[in-house]
Amino acid sequence: MKRLSTQSPQFQQELQALLAFETVQDPKIDQIVADICADVQRRGDAAVIAYTNQFDGTQAQTMADLTLSQDDLKAAFFRLPENVQTALQTAAERVRSYHQHQKQESWHYTDADGTLLGQQVTPLDRVGIYVPGGKAAYPSSVIMNAMPAHVAGVPEIIMVVPTPQGERNDIVLAAAYIAGVTKVFTIGGAQAVAALAYGTQTVPQVDKITGPGNAFVAAAKRRVFGVVGIDMVAGPSEILVIADGSTPADWVAMDLFSQAEHDEIAQAILIATSPDYLDEVQAAMHRLMPTMPRRAIIEASLGNRGAMILAKDLDEACAIANYIAPEHLELSVENAAAWAQKIRHAGAIFMGRYTSESLGDYCAGPNHVLPTSRTARFSSPLGTYDFQKRSSLIQVSEQGAQQLGKIASILAHGENLTAHARSAELRLKD
Ligand code: NAD
């Protein structure tokens, strides 16, 4: 892992180089995705079935072969061992409870002249949840995407998940059952995103699509944005650990591994205030590495984009964290809650040495879909609010129309919009 020191005259340049990551928008992938989306828009189900058979190795004849009902989801749940059922239910309940706090409510107030102004909050009608399934199964993604929609009161939650060679994952389907998913289609990739965005004879058109996926899924989400809403286009996973040296080095080493094991281009960074502690963590990583089944990915990720940074104190460490704006920030320090107040940019802040980032991935309660690639400077975790929308409410009283009408008339004439002005003036009494 690279070592950087804030005392080096090249530090700023080195930090820039470390963070440099451009979302690769491969033109070849974009072209494939454009063709698939156009074909699904044109041929509907027939195209979805053909691409699913081609890319996922299935032998579907009709969409019925790629459709699961509530009963199928329920059956998957009851096939699971009891400890898995309980773990899923506990995680889902914690996520539900957290997202309940995020629910926005309608509000209004009345002016002195009797004019009512406010905001009406309503859930989206129908949303699509993309759950990746090409190379691995992600039940936690089901809970993290579907539960906020469920809490928001979305009446129809349509989930898509590819099932390579037709192999269905019971934990994924059980997670859908307890997270309130209405219907599941076992389709994936660009064809699934296009089916949700445009609708087909069988797949209902949704209003918004959320959920992570590979490059084909990301390109398809970018392409259909505008026809439907999307949550975000997520980049590779990131973790930044700030350690004051009070946490066992093995714990910090494993926390860095836990993000590095996602992907060769994931990013794991440690900032500490003592070179001895950096050495200790480095030694722990060497010792633990051979025990990791995903060693090759971890080594590639740490080698490509990982770093250890020596800072002069924790204030400086927090300033660097604000610049990096990481997806996950662990404050592995004494008095973590006090230091958290210095953090303005991070997707999620894990406070104190007992709060490993992995608890947030599965069951702590907050969402694990978080802004990456420095976008935490301006965006937030996926939440209940992403499945709600707001309509402005205005009810002007007769008295209010007199005062507002005069103002609107003056401004409308200033814009040469005569109908606007007259519409306001017609309601004036004299
Ligand atoms: P996926 O479901 O995203 O993609 C599988 C689909 O890709 C296939 O069904 C197929 O339709 C399409 N595809 C594959 N090769 C294709 C080709 N040559 N041409 C056209 N389409 C093709 O599953 P995945 O591949 O396992 O990727 C999952 C991704 O999601 C990973 O990058 C993983 O790290 C990420 N992920 C992120 C989070 C998060 O919260 N940020 C959580 C889970 C997974």
Alpha helices in 289-430 (DSSP H): 295-305, 314-324, 336-340, 357-362, 398-414, 418-425
Low-confidence ranges of the chain (pLDDT < 50): none
Range of the domain at 75: 27-104+122-230
Q: Is 101 a catalytic residue?
A: no
Q: What is the pTM of this model?
A: 0.94
CA torsion, ordered 70, 71, 77, 79, to nearest 10 deg: -160
Residues 323 and 354 in one domain: yes
Q: Is 327 a catalytic residue?
A: yes
Question: What single-letter DSSP state applies at residue 352?
Answer: S
Q: Is residue 109 part of a domain?
A: no
Residues 273 and 412 in one domain: no
pLDDT in tens, 269-290: 999 999 999 999 999 999 999 9
**Token digits of residue 309:** 């940074």
The pLDDT score that the predictor gives to residue 140 is: 97
**Token digits of residue 227:** 């026809």
Residues 274 and 406 in one domain: no
First CA to last CA distance, the chain? 78
The pLDDT score that the predictor gives to residue 430 is: 73
Residues with CB under 6 A from ligand 1: 32, 55-56, 132-136, 138, 141, 162, 188-190, 212-214, 216-217, 234, 262-263, 368-369
- Cα 231–Cα 142–Cα 262 angle in degrees, nearest 5: 80
Measuring CA to CA, which residue among 225, 234, 190, 299 is closest to residue 21? 234
On whether the CB atoms of residues 231 and 369 are closer than 8 A, the answer is yes
Instruction: Count up the domains in the chain and report the number.
Output: 3
Q: Helix or strand or coil: residue 307?
A: strand
On whether the CB atoms of residues 340 and 374 are closer than 8 A, the answer is no
On whether the CB atoms of residues 343 and 314 are closer than 8 A, the answer is no
On whether the CB atoms of residues 192 and 209 are closer than 8 A, the answer is no
Which residue, 173, 201, 230, sits at the end of a domain? 230
Residues 268 and 242 in one domain: yes
Best mutation site among 214, 261, 362 for ligand 1 pocket (most ligand atoms within 8 Å of CB): 214
Q: Is residue 13 part of a domain?
A: no
Residue nearest to atom 12 of ligand 1 (CA): 189
Residue nearest to atom 24 of ligand 1 (CA): 134
> Tokens 């040296």 belong to which residue?
245
